[in-house]
């Protein structure tokens, strides 16, 4: 499938980690993936370092849309994502359909709460636990249609892994080359 036909949902809650969110959104869009940034609450959404991002839509407004991926940025907002029944429902639905479900930093705790990490290899920001997963300390972990990563310092590697899964290795390499990124 062409990357341009791919659609990704990036939910944002107050307290999101800006470096992760912007890197995910930017790199996926560079690859031709249609990214919808959806605010769980009001927009603009305030990040953990007081940077505000204007969402494309409210989370409720996009519930009926079909997405190829849901990608969760971390930061203190990870707890809000974990506790939001709408987020867990989307994560479960996409995972059940074999679509890409991904989270970085502390946000894999939302995947854990949604029940999609059982028996999967996954990673998370230090100090967080994923009891149903085989928790490892790798920078980026791909296990089938689940991708997890450790934190802001791994955001670019994580985003390129998303591109590879959605658009192929050649597209990920092309995007990385254009940004002068290691890949």
Q: Among all residues, which ones are annotated catalytic?
A: 105
28 in helix, strand or coil? helix
Distance CA 108, CA 72 (A): 8
- How would DSSP label each residue in 77-145? HHHHHHH-HHHHHHHHHHHHTT-EEEEETTTHHHHHHHT--TT-EE--STT---TTSEE---SEEEETT
Backbone φ, ψ for residue 37 (5° rounding): -90, 120
Alpha carbon separation from 9 to 12, 58, 181 (Å, rounded): 10, 11, 24
DSSP 138: -
């Amino acid at each position: 499938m062409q990357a341009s036909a791919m659609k990704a949902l990036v939910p944002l809650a107050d307290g999101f980690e800006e470096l992760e969110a912007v890197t995910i959104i930017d790199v996926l869009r560079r690859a031709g993936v249609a990214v919808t940034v959806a605010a769980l609450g009001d927009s603009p959404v305030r990040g953990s370092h007081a940077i505000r991002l204007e969402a494309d839509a409210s989370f409720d407004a996009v519930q009926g849309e079909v997405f190829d991926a849901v990608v969760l940025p971390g930061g203190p907002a990870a707890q809000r994502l974990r506790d939001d029944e709408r987020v867990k429902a989307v994560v479960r639905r996409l995972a059940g359909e074999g679509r890409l479900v991904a989270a970085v930093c502390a946000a894999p705790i939302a995947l854990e709460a949604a029940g999609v990490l059982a028996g999967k290899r996954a990673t998370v920001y230090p100090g967080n636990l994923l009891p149903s997963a085989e928790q490892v300390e790798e920078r980026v972990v791909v296990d089938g249609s689940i991708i997890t990563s450790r934190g802001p310092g791994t955001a670019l590697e994580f985003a390129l892994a998303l591109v590879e899964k959605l658009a192929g290795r050649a597209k990920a390499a092309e995007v990385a080359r254009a940004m002068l990124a290691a890949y």
